[in-house]
Structure 1
Amino acid sequence: MINGILCFQHINLSNGANMIFMKFKAILGKRFWLLYMVVFTLPMYMRLNNYLLGAYIIVGLLHLFFRIKKINIRTLKAGWPIFGFFILGIMGSFYGTTFLNGFKLLEKYWAFLLLPLLMLTDKNEYSKRREDIFLSLVLGSAATLIICYGNLIYEMVSRNEPISYFFRWRHLGHQFTEIADTHPTYLGVFVVISIVFMFTSNKMGNAIKLPLILFFLFGLFQLASRIALFLAILFLMLLVFNRTKKQWALLVFLSLGIVVGILVFKKMGSKYVKDRLFTVESALNDKRFQRWDASYEIFKENPFFGVGFSQIESIRHDKYMEYGFEVAARQDLNAHNQFLEFLSRNGVVGGFVYVCSLGFLLLLSMYRRDYLFSLIFFVFIMANVSESMLVRIKGIEFFAIFATLFLCGFNQKTLEKE
């Protein structure tokens, strides 16, 4: 009798443990939804996005732990273009500082290691969800613009401003995106990539794509990001050059959106927006180009391994003051050029890794005729001419996720046979 009771209790305990384990596995299976939320919030609130990123990494690592015996470690070799930036992060973080401070400086660069680790060890599953991940970015970009425009309208109504104020400096650029805690150029890059994706996707019908394209293009003018607008126009020229026939409706709407945007902002925009977006002098006189000299001087003085992460701000501050860039010194502005950023932080080693990694990804995507990613890598490289996206968490996160997503569809053995 006692043995029977004990046996019954053992069965109940086993069933209970199995149920808990199955529920735990079901939670781990939700990691893709966490990733979708990470990408959705990528264009907006940084703190929320960081919390979601942390949750995704924790759940992903637990999932990795429970299937560790099934993992083919050789799949990680494909991730070298991303892992290389983590190595640069280690070099720069611990150079010329204490271990504790170096570990703190390394914090945001862990994404270069952990995201490829999670995705490449389960590459087939992530490849299947490629379009869903891109769709999350499209929806996130649209939601961010809606938040910004909602705040803009609220401010105009509460201040009883005339409609002409819609296009004044207080509702453009950084002032426009401040409510969503995001950078106008970064949001502009995400919007352009969203437009590029919509041209290649079959998941979204034209009834959704067409108004979204117009909304995104109008948003690009409101962001007042020259590089984002330039990339959108360049993409339009590429489509015209290729004589796209299947997507003629989208091509018409893209052209219409850019032309209408130019006419509206030319007619109703303030002097600030007209000078910023429509004059060559404004682009040529941008002080960020003049500040490049300061970063290049830092590189020349420390050519091999740079000055590291702990000293770069103080050294660059002194250089800015020496060159008379007092505003840049007060605001601790970075190089606003990713190549120069790596040269000054990590020396020639950093510049070499940057060129090799981005060049490899671009050339491989072209070789594999993955034109969506070819355009994405091109957009990213162009954006980094005037921005340093790989030293900001949003840029790091974007690159780590989407570059790894591209590599998830990359088969080394197939490439070798070709």
Structure 2
Amino acid sequence: MMSLERNYHKIYNAFLCILPVSFLFMKLSNIVVILFVLFNIINYKKLVFNKQKIIWCLIIAMPLLLDLLFFWNNSSYYLAVKATEKHLLFLFFPVLIIGYNKKINLIKLLSIYVVVMLIVLTGLFIRYVIIYPDHILKYLEGRHLWEMGYHFTNSFKLHAPSLNMHVAFASVSCFYVLINKKFGKSVKSIIFFFLFLLSLFLVLYINTRVAVVCAIFGYFFVFLFITFKNYSSSVLIKKGALVFLIFFLGMGAFVKIFPYTIKKFTSRSFANMEMVGRLDEFENPEVEVFSSLVTRVSIWKSALELSKSNLLFGYGAVDAKEKLFEYYKETNQKFLYKYKFPVHNQFIDYLIKYGILGPIALLVFFSFLCYLGFINKNSLMFFFVILFFLSNLTDDFFILYSGISFSAYWASIFGNYSNELDK
């Protein structure tokens, strides 16, 4: 009997380690999720719930509940079902992870997750170097650096901002484990130190703006939070000086090799902001502003104007996107209509889909994650909230599998880890 119980927990925890890495590959992830769900259905008696767990599961399931609540507000029920189907992870993960009858060992899970994630990403990068050596050579020569991270992620059919969000979290998690474990001068300490440098390189190579800024903030935030909590001021100064020196040397080396990074984060990011809503006045907007902030802000402006016509109920999960494209056409925004840009802001996306209740539900979701960080006094949980919140200000990750799985999984892990604290 004890052997069966031990095997159950081993298999369960193996799933927990495999799942977050599988999110990079949608088809593989779907198989792993189905097996995880079936395993828990077979062992349903192992799941334990109380009032608090049920409330937490419902809060994490907010995106799915919005779909169900506004299901009637769609022109096609078939497409509405397909849209709702994507959000089922917001039900499966909290029920199966928060309902798990043991408290998850967060540090152990993060340690395995970081190692496996970086092995997979290193393999993908080596594959990329072998398949596209000409691209690597031109990047080293300083040519076409704007496409660098995007071409890498496209090589295995993933969205660059999504990948860099995952990599930024893995990188800060690696740093969190390195600081928390107090390895001393052991082999594990050296391994995790090099894993951290590797993860920093990958974050900078993929080079999406929000993830890079969040990762840099995350290293400093985690370091200061943990060292102030656990070390004396003299140790803090010594450790801080060493960490900052290594970090700036690494950053300096990367910028020296790929100088476009500075341009991307300064003049290119905030150029032409006076042209919001006037993108058709550019001679060649595809080249000048296709992925710039001015284009995002122009999209948000149009979406907010559209939302005013149906602020109470929105246009439905199925029809909102087409309504936005129609608005581009009606307002004679040829560039936006030609490329049919989605909203690229989850709060505004939910506003035009579900009305005012949409962004309110998202604020509840993020507030709950902040609450978990607060009751645990855990810097990584706070970083997760900041990373995913800011990512959703410039993109709409609740409609992408990589964003849905990422947020539903880690919110559920943190929920499981936190549940016993209030008993």
Q: Give the TM-score normalised by structure 2.
A: 0.79
Report the Cα distance in structure 1 between the residues aligned to 2:413 and 2:134, rounded to whole angstroms: 44
Partner of 1:362 in structure 2?
A: 370
The number of residue pairs the alignment matches comes to 385
Contact 2:166–2:406 at 8 Å: present in 1 too? no
CA RMSD, Structure 1 to Structure 2 (Å): 3.2
Answering whether residue 207 of structure 2 is matched by residue 224 of structure 1, we say: yes
- What is the alpha-carbon distance in structure 1 between the residues aligned to residue 360 and residue 139 of structure 2? 50
Specify which of 112, 117, 121 is matched with residue 95 of structure 2: 117
The within-5 A match list for 1:5-404 is 30-42=11-23, 44-64=24-44, 66-67=45-46, 71-72=49-50, 75-122=53-100, 124-125=101-102, 127-157=103-133, 161=137, 164-165=140-141, 168-169=144-145, 172-201=148-177, 202=180, 205-238=188-221, 245=235, 248=240, 249-266=242-259, 269=260, 275-279=263-267, 281-282=269-270, 285-286=292-293, 287-323=295-331, 326=334, 328-404=336-412
Aligned partner of residue 309 in structure 1, secondary structure: coil
My pick for the range that moved more, 331-340 or 236-245, is 236-245
SS in 2 for 1:180: coil
1:277 to partner: Cα distance = 3.2
1:77-107 CA-partner distances (Å, limit 9, x unpaired): 2223212222112234442234433222211
Q: Secondary structure at the match of 2:418?
A: coil
- 8 Å Cα contact 1:86-1:109 kept in structure 2: yes
C-alpha distance after superposition, 1:162-189 (max 9, x if no partner): 5735763486132111123222212222
User: What is the one-letter code of the residue matched to 1:224?
Assistant: N
**Contact (CA 8 Å) 1:144, 1:180: kept in 2 or not?**
no
8 Å contact 2:145–2:258 — kept in the other structure? no
Q: Aligned partner of 1:340: which letter?
A: I
Closer, same or farther in 2 for the Cα pair 1:160/1:362, shift >3 Å?
A: closer
- Go from structure 1 to structure 2 and tell me whether the alpha carbon gap of 1:142 and 1:159 turns closer, same or farther (over 3 Å shift): closer
SS of the residue 2:411 aligns to: helix
Residue 3 of structure 1 aligns with which residue? none
Q: Are the equivalent residues in 2 in contact too, given 1:38–1:49 (CA < 8 A)?
A: yes
Distance of aligned partners of 1:71 and 1:157 in 2 relative to their CA distance in 1, 3 Å threshold: closer
CA distance in 2, matches of 1:274, 1:213: 22
- Larger displacement relative to structure 2 (396-405 or 100-109): 100-109
Could you tell me whether the CA contact under 8 Å between 2:329 and 2:337 is conserved in 1?
Answer: yes
CA distance in 1, matches of 2:7, 2:223: 47
Residues 373, 355 of structure 1: alpha-carbon distance in 2 compared, 3 angstrom cutoff: same
Following the alignment from structure 1 to structure 2, what is the Cα–Cα distance between the partners of residues 99 and 171?
39
- Bigger drift between 161-170 and 196-205 goes to 161-170
Counterparts in 2 of 1:324 and 1:276: CA distance versus 1, 3 Å: farther
Q: CA–CA distance in 1 between the matches of 2:337 and 2:123?
A: 32
In structure 1, C-alpha distance between the alignment counterparts of 2:358 and 2:347, rounded to whole Å: 8
Whether contact under 8 Å (1:276, 1:282) holds in the other structure is no
Task: Tell me the alpha carbon deviations over residues 375-410 of structure 1, each in whole angstroms, 9 at most, x when there is no partner.
Answer: 111111111111111111111111111111111133
Deviation at 1:61, TM superposition (A): 2.5
Contact 1:275 1:282 in 2 (8 A): no
Q: Which residue of 2 aligns with 1:12?
A: none
Counterpart code for 2:399: V
Q: Displacement of 1:325 after TM fit? A: 5.2
**SS of match in other structure, 1:409:** helix
User: How much has 1:213 moved relative to structure 2?
Assistant: 2.1
In 2, the alpha carbon distance for the partners of 1:329 and 1:227 equals 26
Superposed CA offset, 1:269-322 (max 9, x none): 4xxx55423425546552112210122122211101211111012111112334
